[in-house]
């Protein structure tokens, strides 16, 4: 038990809660969740950083990326302040009648980043019968299920696309039988094919009346991950203020919890 105690860490409230009490009783080392940072904004606190450390992620580089995103967001020039430009652009699309925003990626490693993004914007903006319905899509996979609706369905959608410029170099091999008739792609990088899919899809959707916002990063590493996290967080706060709602509370989620606990018999 003593050896286990040395290897168990708890990220918890500084003074209350079941996990805090357990850590106190067992002598586990504790990392504090800041009182003034909501869960969806806590990626760059101990809540997110501790798991990243154990995973072997360079958190120093991640925080450097977040710091640069913070510094970039300090300029009052909207043309240079990309985070606020994103917030204003999606607000203007909302005012023009767009109701749904898809966060689109062409990089599978961003799929769960999009899950966090949906919570961030959904809980921060969706109040007082305001706010965009946020969803996500992993292309090209989801083009098979969502492509038709996006292309020809109700014109209430716009897309925010994350493009990763430099990816792992993986070349397409030559197939002597060429059964799939894809030898014309021989020796091309998979990332090149992916980029053409992005460009072609963007052209089709824009031509079909679906506006696209393109956010480009050089590569998917700790630095750019940290940059994206802070970029979307500061843009989210601005987006909520443009809607005249508080980005840092979530009164709506308490309603279902109250009902569920009552049905379960919690006193």
Query: Does residue 231 belong to any structural domain of this protein?
Result: yes
Over 80: is that where the pLDDT of 168 sits? no
- Residue 179 is encoded by which pair of tokens? 């059964």
Q: What's the CA gap between 151 and 137, in Å, rounded?
A: 14
Say which CATH number the domain at 234 has.
3.40.50.10490
> What value does the mean pLDDT take over residues 210-234?
97
Taking residue 167's Cβ as centre, other Cβ atoms within 10 Å add up to 17
Over 80: is that where the pLDDT of 162 sits? yes
Residues 6+ apart with CB under 8 A from 219: 164, 165, 166, 167
Query: Can you name the residues that pair with 135 across neighbouring β-strands?
Result: 102
Residues 6+ apart with CB under 8 A from 185: 172, 193
- The residue with greater pLDDT, 103 or 172, is 103
Q: What's the CA gap between 230 and 144, in Å, rounded?
A: 32
Query: Does residue 131 belong to any structural domain of this protein?
Result: yes
Query: Does residue 165 belong to any structural domain of this protein?
Result: yes
Please identify every residue annotated as catalytic. 123, 144, 257
> What value does the mean pLDDT take over residues 75-90?
95
> What value does the mean pLDDT take over residues 38-62?
91
Query: Does residue 34 belong to any structural domain of this protein?
Result: no
123 neighbors 253 (Cβ within 8 angstroms): yes
**By percentage, how much of the chain surpasses pLDDT 70?**
100
Query: Does residue 81 belong to any structural domain of this protein?
Result: yes
Ranges 139-143, 157-161, 228-232: which has the least confidence: 139-143
Characterise 186 by phi-psi region: left (phi > 0), alpha (psi -120 to 50), beta (else).
beta
209 neighbors 155 (Cβ within 8 angstroms): yes
Query: Does residue 41 belong to any structural domain of this protein?
Result: no
DSSP 171: B
What is the model's pTM? 0.90
Q: What is the maximum alpha-carbon separation in the chain?
A: 70
Query: Does residue 187 belong to any structural domain of this protein?
Result: yes
- Residues of the domain holding 84: 65-264
Domain count within the chain: 1
pLDDT value of position 260: 92
Query: Does residue 59 belong to any structural domain of this protein?
Result: no
pLDDT value of position 36: 82
């Amino acid at each position: 038990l003593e050896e286990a105690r040395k290897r168990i860490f708890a990220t918890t409230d500084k003074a209350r809660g079941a996990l805090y009490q357990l850590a106190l009783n067992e002598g586990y080392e504790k990392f504090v969740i800041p009182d003034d940072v909501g869960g969806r904004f806590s990626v760059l606190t101990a809540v997110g950083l501790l798991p990243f450390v154990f995973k072997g992620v360079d958190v120093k580089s991640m925080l450097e990326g977040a710091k640069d995103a913070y510094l970039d967001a300090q300029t009052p020039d909207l043309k240079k302040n990309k985070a606020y430009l994103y917030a204003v652009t999606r607000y203007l699309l909302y005012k023009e009648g767009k109701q749904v925003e898809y966060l689109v990626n062409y990089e599978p490693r961003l799929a769960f980043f999009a899950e966090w993004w949906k919570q961030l914007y959904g809980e921060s903006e969706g109040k007082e019968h305001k706010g965009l319905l946020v969803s996500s899509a992993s292309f090209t996979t989801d083009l098979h299920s969502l492509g038709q609706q996006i292309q020809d369905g109700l014109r209430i959608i716009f897309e925010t696309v994350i493009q990763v410029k430099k990816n792992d170099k993986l070349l397409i091999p030559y197939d002597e039988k060429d059964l799939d008739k894809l030898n014309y792609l021989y020796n091309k990088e998979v990332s090149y094919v992916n980029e053409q899919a992005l460009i072609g899809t963007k052209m089709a959707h824009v031509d079909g009346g679906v506006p696209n916002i393109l956010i480009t990063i050089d590569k998917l590493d700790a630095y750019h991950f940290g940059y994206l996290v802070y970029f979307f967080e500061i843009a989210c706060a601005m987006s909520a203020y443009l809607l005249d709602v508080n980005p840092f509370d979530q009164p709506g989620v308490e309603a279902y919890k109250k009902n569920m606990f009552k049905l379960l018999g919690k006193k």
